[in-house]
């Protein structure tokens, strides 16, 4: 007699693997009772998670819609085609490749499509807010290609476009990479396009952090002016963990070939379905309000922190994130972010421009408002968050952390919109 594994266990993770089920429940409670202030994180809707957790994960689909190496892909083709159409429509792009598993392979695919090993590329330095995949020497991008970098001005802590132009003219890069992970100011993509045009370079914009703001009309879009645009889908865009590459029509074939078969094998069609759901949600007028509220909340948080005596990199923010210079108060970013976590506020330590501390300590804390805005919070709650941050940084005692953690959990439990699904139960 054949006994079905699923029949004997009723298919439920709580019966099959209580250990993992218990850990998932613990993480659900952590998410419900703390505030997510990491600017690259967000809370996905129940609909996104239903697509991501579906049995689409069972299917191999190497290739592209109607050009697959496996049979049985009629439904999968419709899903991927819908995702492509939605990505193109939302951002006004000629072409979309929705298969990249994450931001790093998306950027690598673009380099693979457009460069030869050893080519010169100009990107923002990691120390000034760029990304590992923009040429850091510890990343494959910095080892395969000859990256040179631009940064921010020492006084304004903003990108100095004259300096970008000067470096570009001196280095004659084949590709310029614009985009950042820790830059609190609007990026002038039109200016980057002019610079690329001036020196005959291609322009890649990595808009991972601000894709949701761009979809909402809360930041200038790079799509009309860049050759290629990459973004992750799980940050301000509020989708599943993954990435998308947009490009002009003339780069489409090279990009597609670089993703598959160049870099990846079978696409994650369950994730592609979840990306499609997120793109549909982002096309809803309510998402425009969301994107503008993310920025309004970041500005309110920044203003409240400044009024409490904190120094912010560049003095404030135009987007979804800000950087507090806690080195100015005599503590490291590591100690500061640990103090915030003890009080239920989850952020990350981050280098600030011209930092003298090593990255594992850093002098900054990076804060973002995409998550708390998804929870439904507004400027009033941001003032409360700033007061908690100030208190946790100045009084790092266990007693203060316990007091703040209780207040944070009470507020956090009041903000759990029904689009996220049922709020996780309290611990017994």
Q: How far is the CB of 103 from ligand DSN (least distance, A)?
A: 5
Q: Which is nearer to ligand DSN, 37 or 259 (CB)?
A: 37
| 248 catalytic per annotation | no
From 62, 160, 335, 361, the catalytic residue: 62
C-alpha to C-alpha distance for 177 and 186, rounded to whole angstroms:
15
230 binds ligand DSN (CB under 6 A): no
Q: Which is nearer to ligand DSN, 31 or 40 (CB)?
A: 40
| 60 catalytic per annotation | yes
- Name beta bridge partners: 349: 365
Q: Give 99's contacts (C-beta < 8 A, 6+ positions apart).
A: 80, 259, 260, 264, 267, 268, 272
Instruction: Tell me the two tokens of residue 56.
Output: 């689409």
Q: 123-152: which residues touch ligand DSN (CB under 6 A)?
A: 131
Q: Which is nearer to ligand DSN, 210 or 279 (CB)?
A: 210
Q: Which is nearer to ligand DSN, 232 or 297 (CB)?
A: 232
Instruction: Tell me the two tokens of residue 334.
Output: 């590591």
Q: How far is the CB of 310 from ligand DSN (least distance, A)?
A: 21
Q: CA-CA-CA-CA torsion for 300, 304, 305, 311, nearest 10 degrees? A: 90
C-alpha to C-alpha distance for 346 and 367, rounded to whole angstroms:
9
Q: How far is the CB of 129 from ligand DSN (least distance, A)?
A: 10
Q: Does residue 235 contact residue 208 with C-beta atoms inside 8 Å? A: yes
| 232 catalytic per annotation | yes
Nearest residue to ligand DSN, by Cβ distance, number only? 40
Q: How far is the CB of 148 from ligand DSN (least distance, A)?
A: 21
List the one residue from 40, 45, 139, 247 that touches ligand DSN (CB under 6 A).
40
From 60, 146, 341, 357, the catalytic residue: 60
- Angle at 134 (CA atoms; ends 129, 138), nearest 5 degrees: 95
List the one residue from 181, 221, 247, 369 that touches ligand DSN (CB under 6 A).
181
| 374 catalytic per annotation | no
| 241 catalytic per annotation | yes
From 59, 68, 88, 235, the catalytic residue: 235
From 128, 171, 206, 381, the catalytic residue: 206
| Residue 157 phi, psi dihedral angles, 5° rounding | 55, 30
Number of H helices and number of E strands within the chain? 17, 14
Q: How far is the CB of 104 from ligand DSN (least distance, A)?
A: 7
Q: Which is nearer to ligand DSN, 34 or 348 (CB)?
A: 348
Q: Which is nearer to ligand DSN, 103 or 327 (CB)?
A: 103
Q: 65-104: which residues touch ligand DSN (CB under 6 A)?
A: 103
Q: How far is the CB of 379 from ligand DSN (least distance, A)?
A: 24
Show contacts of 193-201: CB within 8 Å, 24+ apart.
193/222, 193/225, 193/226, 195/161, 195/164, 195/165, 195/168, 196/168, 198/165, 198/168, 198/169, 199/168, 199/169, 199/172, 199/173, 200/172, 201/122, 201/168, 201/172, 201/173, 201/174, 201/175, 201/176
Binding site for ligand DSN (CB under 6 A): 40, 103, 131, 181
Residues that are catalytic: 60, 62, 206, 232, 235, 241
């Amino acid at each position: 007699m054949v006994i079905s594994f699923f029949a004997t266990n009723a298919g439920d993770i709580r019966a099959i693997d209580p250990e993992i089920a218990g850990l998932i429940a613990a993480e659900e409670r952590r998410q419900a009772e703390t505030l997510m202030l990491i600017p690259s994180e967000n809370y996905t809707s129940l609909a996104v998670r239903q697509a991501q957790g579906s049995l689409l994960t069972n299917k191999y689909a190497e290739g592209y819609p109607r050009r697959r190496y496996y049979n049985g892909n009629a439904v999968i083709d419709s899903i991927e085609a819908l995702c492509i159409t939605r990505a193109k429509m939302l951002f006004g792009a000629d072409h979309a490749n929705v298969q990249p598993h994450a931001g790093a392979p998306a950027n690598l695919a673009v380099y693979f499509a457009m460069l030869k090993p050893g080519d010169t590329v100009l990107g923002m330095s990691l120390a000034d807010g760029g990304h590992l995949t923009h040429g850091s020497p510890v990343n494959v991008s910095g080892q395969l290609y000859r990256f040179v970098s631009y940064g921010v001005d020492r006084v304004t802590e903003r990108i100095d476009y004259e300096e970008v132009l000067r470096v570009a003219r001196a280095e004659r890069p084949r590709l310029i990479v614009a985009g950042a992970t820790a830059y609190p100011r609007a990026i002038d993509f039109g200016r980057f396009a002019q610079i690329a045009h001036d020196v005959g370079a291609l322009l890649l914009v990595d808009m991972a952090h601000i894709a949701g703001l761009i979809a909402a009309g809360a930041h200038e879009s790079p799509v009309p002016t860049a050759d290629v645009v990459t973004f992750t889908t799980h940050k301000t865009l509020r989708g599943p963990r993954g990435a998308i590459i947009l490009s002009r029509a003339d780069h489409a074939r090279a990009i597609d070939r670089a993703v598959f078969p160049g870099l990846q094998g079978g696409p994650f069609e369950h994730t592609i379905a979840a990306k499609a759901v997120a793109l549909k949600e982002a096309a809803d007028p309510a998402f425009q309000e969301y994107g503008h509220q993310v920025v309004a909340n970041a500005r309110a948080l920044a203003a409240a922190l400044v009024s409490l005596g904190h120094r912010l990199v560049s003095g404030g923010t135009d987007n979804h994130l800000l950087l507090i210079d806690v080195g100015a108060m005599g503590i490291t970013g590591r100690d500061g972010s640990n103090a915030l976590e003890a009080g239920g506020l989850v952020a990350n330590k981050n280098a600030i421009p011209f930092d003298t501390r090593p990255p594992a300590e850093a002098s900054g804390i990076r804060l973002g408002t995409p998550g708390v805005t998804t929870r439904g919070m507004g400027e009033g709650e941001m003032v409360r968050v700033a007061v908690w941050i100030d208190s946790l940084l100045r009084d790092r005692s266990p007693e203060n952390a316990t007091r703040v953690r209780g207040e944070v959990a009470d507020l956090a439990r009041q903000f759990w919109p029904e689009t996220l699904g049922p709020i996780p139960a309290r611990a017994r």
